[in-house]
Structure 1
Amino acid sequence: MRFLLKIQVRRLTTQWYYASDIARMRPYEPDYKPPSSPQVFQKLSVEDSMELEKRYRALLGAKDSSEKVVSPSVQVGEDDLYTVDVRDFTISPTYWKGPTYEVRRGLWFNSNGTPLESHLCAELEDMSNTKNEVQKLKGDYPEGKYALFTEDSTNTGFVLKNLDGGKLFLNYLKSGLGSIMPINGVAVYKGEKKPLDFNKIDDILVNSLMKDIENIEKFQDDGKSKEKKTKKKEVPAGESIASNLTNWDLFENMPSIFSTTGADKAPEASDVDEDYMEQVQTHDDPLNGKRKIKDLVLCVHGIGQTLGKKYEYVNFAHTVNLLRTNIKNLYSESAQLKDLNKLQGHADWDMNSGIQVLPITWRHSIKFKTESQGDEIDNPELPSLDDITVSGILPLRKLMGDVALDVLLYGEIYYQKIILDTVMKELNDTYTLFLEKNPTFDGRVHLIGHSLGSLILFDLLSQHRHYKLKFPVSHFFSIGSPVGLIKLVERTRIGSRQGPKQRTSLRINKPKCQELYNVYHTCDPVAYRMEPLVDVEMAQFEQEYLPHWSELDGFTSKMIEMSGSLWEGLPGMGATEPTNNDMYRGNNGKVEKIQSANAATQLKITGELKRKLTALNCNGRVDYSLRPNILDVDVIAALKSHVSYFEETDIAGFVMLELLKPHTEADEISVKKT
């Protein structure tokens, strides 16, 4: 009988961490200074830590060889969206500009389990062999200026702010009480596993604080008087010894005694920064790891003048992160979407949608005449925007400028060319970088444009001879778009390069993409329809509604049905009752009446109109609307609807469905009268 002995060998590696609370640098904020050192650190995945440690050691080895060149950059996080520089110990986004955070090797830790920064770790490593002697640190560290290691262990010690306590203080630390309750500094230990003595820190109560401090008086220094031994001021009658310990920054270190996370000391992190850094952590889950990407989606922002300049690098990256998260979560819950990928023969269909979305930021690199600061004006003969702004109802004027001013700028040919050139460059640069980081990528590229971003992309695709992208565009989703309004003002119609030739005296824009979608909320004051610009007869029919995605399919569907019937009863919302005029022939028999299961009249589009629509989109519908909530009737809800598209799960579901399903031309197009 043979026995097989299986020995499981665990590959040891140094754990790496990244800060998630305090940024080291922020783009476009040259005066930014971190308010404090970071206190909250998260683990990078085991896979990422192994790669970082390997590269770090290789970089150290390269210092001894003039011929060996080692790149300090390592891709980490979900789909390698972030880059760590192991030379500078920083982490930042790979494909867009965002805050830079600190990275640390898990070599030495403080009593809260927070890894110490690399230079301090290096000094502690060198000093840890010297026992019972206070050693001066070379660097300037928030933890302190001095290091002390005792005979008890080579892996534990203290970093002290000063030596005001003299030998009494040092004896206290050496006694073992210091590791339980460090005063005037922090206890430190080597290795990720905390020594047993350190675990007592979590159990210390406020009422035991004074008792432990009073134990200091028990330590005697041989052959010296008590006054000389303690080297401290006389304690006036009626005062406890604790009052003198304030010179040792006792109360400054209180949080380290009663907290295991260090969050007490850290400034409150914003939700945006937390979300920004959340996708660095893959939790070693294959759903969040490195995937094969089949569909790359580049998203172009449309935030207004002031917001775009000051906040877009945070907010837009944040909103695209929300879209990415919604896509991931919906795919994990949808058997239908998984089946679509499975039918296409993708081996990892059960875990991987194959879709990646990246933000394209452009506003920060353009300086317009409308900038508030005078030194950014490109022509000194013109005033700045502030110079001509009326002071009354200033907050409202600022709001209108944030929402509308970039659209007005885009209408000026001089600025329009600057914007188009800039966005084209950002798109091409991001695509080139993606290919560099993903050399096996052979999938499709799609575009999403929000607000002004959709207008920019529409014109880029329509003027492709002047603005050349390095990739063909498959699907173009125009979200919350003013394209319809702008093209109407320009007396321009919308057509397809593959569709029938249209007889018109007007100019026709034909965006170079396979599928065109115009998605909006009916309450969005910035959004307009496109289909009537394809053919004016489409103005008589409702837009299509997005399918709703929810775990509670039965309940949600019933609520949608009820909501739909409520809206259809309001003026201008939903279909009308059938009339004698519901049978249409139009030109060339475009529209025919068909029977519907509900009271609303359903019509079927045929002939030339069908060919026009299916040439733009194989579904035969370009305009798609989110169903409005019955309460979305005020101004605040209307403005919110324009900026919340990337948070909508229905948007994420619709994008996934259109990217994953096989595209065949619709046999018929059903519409309802407006």
Structure 2
Amino acid sequence: MKFFFAIRRYSTPAAAIRWFYATDIPVSKPKGFNYKQTERPKKFIPFARTDSDNLEAAFRAWKNGESPKEVAVNEDQLFDCNLEKMIMRPAYWEGPAYEIRRGLWFLDNMPLPAPIADQLEHKYRELGPFKELQSSDEPVTAEIASEVSLYEREGRKWPFEKATDFEKEDKIAVFKDHKTAFMISKDSTVGKLQIKNFYKLPAQQVLGADTVTRGYEKAEPKKTEEASEESTDEEKDLLTSWMKSWTGQASNERFQKDMEADYTSPNIIANSGDREVDHLILCIHGIGQTLSHRFASVNFAHDCNNMRKHFKQLFTHNPKYVKMAYSEEEIARHKNDGKLSNCKVQVLPIIWRFDVDFSLDKIFDEYEPDGHPRLPTLNQINIDAITPLRHLAADVVMDILLFYEPRFKQQILSSVVKYANAIYDKYLERHPQFDGKISLLGHSLGSAICLDILCSQPDSPEDLDPRKHLKFPVENFFGLGSPNGVFKLIQRHNIRARDSANHENVSSPKVGNYYNIFYPTDPVAYRVEPLVHSFLADVKPQTIAFEDDSLNSQIQSLAELPNNLINNEYLRRAINFAGLGDAAQNGEKQDKTPKHTEQKEIPDHVKKLLEGLNRTGRVDYSLPQGYFDIDLISAVGSHIQYFDDRDVIGFLLTQLWPPDTQ
């Protein structure tokens, strides 16, 4: 319910308005989650000042008759606010939508919903308590209809499962002064008898009433010791979380915390607005809905948001990256103004999975005469009580089955191309000054999708069809945990640069540099260099060095596990049974310095083939391992931890700015 009111002859006291957004209960989630909002959000945080001011300006323009418009907010304008629906959602990817509120009247430092705040403000201006209280001892009161009552008047049903007393009881507002009012139940006899005395009492001494205040006052967030310990325990108990996930005990808690982190990151809030970007990285996921629903932390948009955060943190932590991204003149000019903290990298996800019409429970529409499906689902042919590693393999096989079923493959490729071009167009629309380079990053099956798209790109721009091809040139292709090696081997294809493709069975991506990055323990990843030339089968992959002053996230996680868990006899037996490594090592560290292994000399004609695919002369890059592979994190976890690994981020940073630009 909206209220429009006229200001009386006296001036209404100004009040600080601040816009807020919810972080705990989404209004909606992406299609495929079968989600319906049943409860109201309770956690709201303020937008950055610039964003709040932009929202207020757009809101006032709308109320003055202009067409409502979406307002881009937060860092790099990654989110959009819809003022008609009062929601915020990601601008570039499918994600949950959260409620936004205009903060003018507050209860317990949280902005009141518009139906209540509008009534209070209307009565406040109409009755002028800020004027009357100067010449009268009588309190100024006003009736305020509850939200439930307003819904009923409009013939609508209350949208949530429950309603609090504040939401369902009509109120009497007793204005105490120019910024405070007490809200009592209209049906409260005791409350009515005390109205005359309410305005004389301090707010904290009024029993049976809710104290609401007008105008935003910054409040420090509450952080209890108990909450802090709970968060720490959750991070430490990583293996337990994994086991619960694989055994079907995972809840939405981690998903929810991931979502909250994406919307409330200090980086996002502090860096609201635009910044210079040299490299736009578009990320394509692979693992589909089965693993995403079983393993709550597999949330690709969150993974990309996390990677964006790591880029910024690592960039500011290590001066060598600043020297790569900025010239000596720029470093001298911006030494003290904070601009050198900008890593000049933007990471955006391409979420294609929900765009493909594919059911995990019903793959093939073919039936027996008796009505039963002719073919079972993959889950129906799986073995009961299998290991987590087998679960991972089954989930990946499901998406591989999807990708290599001819009627689905083109749908997947078209979907990724469509989203990539749409994101590119939107990014240029919002950042017309962007003149940087674009890279593709594909994870798991996503790397196979990337490779097929790049191989289909035409040589000539005149032959480009935006329905089938990317509109933009691709500088780098990073494959993480990629099965491309085995896929192309099965197809009997070599992998060569465009100008080196001298026979029919060749996959030739149109890209400046191709990187195949993997953990030695990743059960999904394969090498690709032997497909460039079989001589390279005897040449070890290039090893990525440890990031300075850090261990990779796998080692950090493993080091935090309790010793008694690492040494647990039953866990060790289970790990050995799963074939995940030698559990007898009891979690001892290996020397984190990669051991020197003598490399074979690569013939010149083979070097030329490699240099055609990557300026570095190598394509396969192996990440460092710091522990014996004794736990589930080493094998199963390695496939999905690339986005959270500082070694990966550091390597990407070193490759985005080649030596000739440094």
**Residue aligned with 1:42, SS:** strand
TM-score normalised by structure 1 residue count: 0.72
Q: Which residue of 2 aligns with 1:276?
A: 262
Is residue 219 of structure 2 the alignment partner of residue 187 of structure 1? no
Question: Equivalent of 2:179, from 155, 160, 163?
Answer: 155
C-alpha distance in structure 1 between counterparts of 2:96 and 2:47, whole Å: 18
Counterpart in the other structure of 2:147: 139
1:614 corresponds to: 611
Aligned residue identity for 1:146: D
Runs of 4 or more, structure 1, over 6 Å off, are: 309-314
Q: Partners of 1:632 and 1:639 in 2: how far apart?
A: 11
Aligned partners of 1:269 and 1:456: how far apart in 2? 26
- Tell me what 1:222 maps to: none
Kindly tell me: are residues 165 and 138 of structure 1, through their superposed partners in 2, closer, same or farther at Cα, counting changes over 3 Å?
closer
Aligned to 1:355: 345
Q: Give, in whole Å, the separation in 2 of the partners of 1:379 and 1:473.
A: 41
Q: 2:416 matched to 1:430?
A: no
Q: CA deviation at 1:271?
A: 2.0
Once residues 560 and 658 of structure 1 are traced to their aligned partners in structure 2, the CA distance between those partners, rounded to angstroms, is 29
Match of 2:405 in 1: 412
SS at match of 1:562: coil
| Match of residue 471 from structure 1 | 472
Q: In 2 relative to 1, CA 124–406 (structure 1 residues): closer, same or farther, beyond 3 Å? A: same
Does the CA-based 8 Å contact 2:529-2:619 persist in structure 1? yes
Residues 194-253 of structure 1 show CA distances to partners (whole Å, capped at 9, x for unaligned) of: 9xxx99xxxxxxxxxxxxxxxxxxxxxxxxxxxxxxxxxxxxxxxxxxxxxxxxxxxxxx
Residue equivalent to 1:89: 86
Native 8 Å contact 1:618 1:663 kept in 2 = no
619-628 or 130-139: bigger deviation: 130-139
In 2: Cα distance, 1:508 partner to 1:269 partner: 41
The CA distance in 2 between the partners of 1:648 and 1:173, in whole Å, is 61
Q: What is the match of residue 22 of structure 1?
A: 25
Aligned-pair distance for 1:177?
Answer: 5.0
What is the deviation of 1:12?
A: 8.8
Q: Compute the displacement of 1:87 (Å).
A: 2.5
Cα distance, 1:663–1:406 mapped onto 2, change above 3 Å: farther
| Partner of residue 595, structure 1 | none
Distance 1:439 1:122 in 2: 39
Which residue in the other structure is 1:299 paired with?
283
> Equivalents in 1 of 2:423, 2:410: separation in Å?
20
- SS of 1:159's partner is strand
Structure-to-structure mapping, 1:264-663, within 5 angstroms? 270-279=256-265, 282-285=268-271, 289-308=273-292, 315-343=299-327, 350-368=340-358, 370-372=359-361, 382=373, 385-386=376-377, 389-390=380-381, 393=384, 399-465=392-458, 467-499=468-500, 502=502, 507-551=505-549, 562-564=591-593, 568=595, 575=597, 601-662=598-659
Q: Structure 1 residues 649 and 399, CA, compared in 2 at 3 Å: closer, same or farther? A: closer
Pair member with larger Rg: 1
SS of the aligned residue for 2:64 comes to helix
1:124 paired to 2:127: no
Which consecutive residues of structure 1, in runs of 5 or more, have no partner in the other structure?
1-10, 63-67, 200-266, 569-573, 576-600, 665-674
Identity of aligned residues (%): 31
1:371 touches 1:384 (CA, 8 Å); kept in 2? no
**Is the contact between residue 480 and residue 642 of structure 2 (CA under 8 Å) also seen in structure 1?**
yes
Give the Å deviation of 1:333.
1.4
Q: How far is the alpha carbon of 1:409 from its aligned partner?
A: 2.4
> Which stretch has the larger CA shift, 154-163 or 345-354?
345-354
Could you say which residue in structure 1 is the equivalent of 2:231?
none
1:335 partner letter: P
Indicate the SS of the match to 1:524.
coil
Cα–Cα, structure 1 residues 167 and 40, in superposed 2: closer, same or farther, change >3 Å? closer
**Offset of 1:564 from its aligned partner?**
4.1
Which residue is 1:61 aligned to?
Answer: 64
Structure 1 stretch 299-308 or stretch 23-32: which is displaced more?
A: 23-32
Query: In the TM superposition, what is the alpha-carbon distance from 1:147 to its structure 2 partner?
Result: 3.5
The superposition leaves residues 156-194 of structure 1 with CA deviations (integer Å, 9 ceiling, x where unpaired) of 223345523345664487265583155555211101239
CA contact (8 A) 1:313 1:361 kept: no
Distance 1:400 1:332 in 2: 38
Task: Rate the CA distance shift 1:301–1:538 in 2: closer, same or farther, 3 A.
Answer: same
Match for residue 587 of structure 1? none
Quick check: 1:304–1:404 contact (8 Å CA) kept in 2?
A: no
- For residues 563-611 of structure 1, the C-alpha deviation after alignment (integer angstroms, 9 at most, x for no partner) is 346xx5xxxxx62xxxxxxxxxxxxxxxxxxxxxxxxx34543521111
Distance in 2, Cα, partners of 1:560 & 1:655: 26
Contact 2:481 2:519 in 1 (8 A): yes
Q: How many residues align?
A: 534
Q: What do residues 448-506 of structure 1 show as CA deviations (whole Å, max 9, x unaligned)?
A: 0000000011011112248311111110001100000111111100000134x54x5x6
1:241 is matched with none
- The 3-state SS of whatever aligns with 1:36 is coil
Q: What secondary structure sits across from 2:276 in the alignment?
A: coil
Q: Secondary structure at the match of 1:91?
A: strand
State the alpha-carbon separation in 2 of the partners of residues 34 and 118 from structure 1: 19
Instruction: Give the CA deviation at 1:638.
Output: 0.5
Q: What amino acid is the match of 1:193? A: E
- Which letter maps to 1:393? D
Cα 1:269–1:357 change in 2 (3 A) is closer
Mapped contact 2:71–2:82 kept (Cα < 8 A): yes
How far is the alpha carbon of 1:629 from its aligned partner?
Answer: 2.3
Aligned to 2:111: 115
1:412 Cα deviation (Å)? Answer: 2.4
Distance 1:659 1:139 in 2: 54
Distance 1:456 1:56 in 2: 42
Cα distance in 1, alignment partners of residues 255 and 296 from structure 2: 18
CA contact under 8 A between 2:306 and 2:644: conserved in structure 1? yes
Distance in 1, Cα, partners of 2:36 & 2:405: 38
Q: Distance in 1 between matches of 2:590 and 2:382?
A: 48
Evaluate the alpha carbon distance shift between residue 661 and residue 391 of structure 1 in structure 2; reply closer, same or farther with a 3 A threshold.
Answer: closer
C-alpha spacing 1:513/1:281, structure 2 compared with 1 (3 Å): closer
Q: Under a length normalisation based on structure 2, what TM-score does the superposition of the two structures give? A: 0.73
String of CA shifts for 1:55-110, please: whole Å, max 9, x gaps.
11111112xxxxx5x34211111111111112222111010011111111220001
Matches of 1:173 and 1:273, distance apart in 2: 46
Residue 114 of structure 1 aligns with an amino acid whose one-letter code is M
Q: 1:44 touches 1:281 (CA, 8 Å); kept in 2?
A: no
* Contact 1:523–1:633 (8 Å) recurs in 2: no
Secondary structure of the 2:433 match is: coil
Secondary structure of the equivalent of 2:118?
A: helix
Kept after mapping to 1: 8 A contact 2:73/2:79: yes
Asked whether the 8 Å contact 2:529–2:620 carries over to 1, the reply is: yes
